[in-house]
Amino acid sequence: MSSFTRVSSPGYNRMKSPGLPLPATTRFGCTMSAANKFYKYIRRIAHFKQMDFEFALWQMVYLFHKPQQVYRNFQYRKETKAQFARDDPAFLILLAAWLILSSAGFSISLGINFTGFIKFLLYVIFIDLIAVGAVISTVLWYVSNKFLLRPGHKDKDVEWGFCFDVHLNAFLPLLIILHFLQIFIYHIFIERDWFVSTWFGNTLWLIALGYYIYITFLGYKSLDILQRTHVFLYPLTVLVMFYIFSLAFNWNLSRSLMWFYKNRVL
């Protein structure tokens, strides 16, 4: 079990995790309404100097290496700022940078022009990331508060902002694997008619979506007000069954994705 130390200072107390650094703005604060938290979050997007990009970058690294550590820092934020959800948009800004970079690579791979790149980028941001993420977050927020709260915590609730943060955490590995790493070998190997190409491409999908499910599970498991959080791992069974089905019919998921983007989105 990981340990942490509490350090006293004139203005506030800080807790230091043994791996992930603390955000530069950690402090004890009063509880704010959801509207005030959202307003503060949006306002900070325009103030780059107030964002802790170093901490956000460490979170991204740890999502691949030790995702549990990221959620331990969510617990620290709850103790210091009375909220689980991020109040620093630095992670979102860096994620947007990854989206732009990966979308540019996809555009080159698909052979589309600059206008097509803009359309593709907007689709990935507003549909793949935000719209789909909002739907998933809302469903899991409802399920968590309706069915998974512990009996002694019925007066508390899971923040919707936390649910969306969990989605952003889980989306990063999926983005890196499917929208970045895959493009380097797509035309060389994955798009071929060979079964081994289908197997390799679909295995990338299995890993990426498996990461999404596992990191989502870790997020809700980190909340001590919830019980039976193992239900968030149930989609893994469906995922493995779908993976076997796709291989049985030699259905190349990566090639289908490329076709969809090129013929339906652009």
CB 62 within 8 A of CB 19: yes
Q: What is the signed CA dihedral for 142, 144, 145, 150, rounded to 10 degrees?
A: 170
Q: Is the pLDDT of residue 28 over 50?
A: no
Cα 243 to Cα 110: distance, rounded to the nearest angstrom: 25
Q: How many residues does the chain have?
A: 266
- What's the pTM value of the predicted model, to 2 decimals? 0.81
pLDDT confidence of residue 19: 55
Asked whether residue 138 carries a pLDDT value surpassing 90, the answer given is yes
What's the CA gap between 188 and 197, in Å, rounded? Answer: 10
- Joined together, the tokens standing for residue 107 give 């555009």
Per-residue pLDDT at 27: 41
User: What's the pLDDT at 16?
Assistant: 45
Residue 123 has pLDDT above 50, yes or no: yes
Higher pLDDT, 19 or 227: 227
Q: Is residue 166's pLDDT more than 50? A: yes
CA distances from 22 to 133, 169, 211 (A): 26, 17, 24
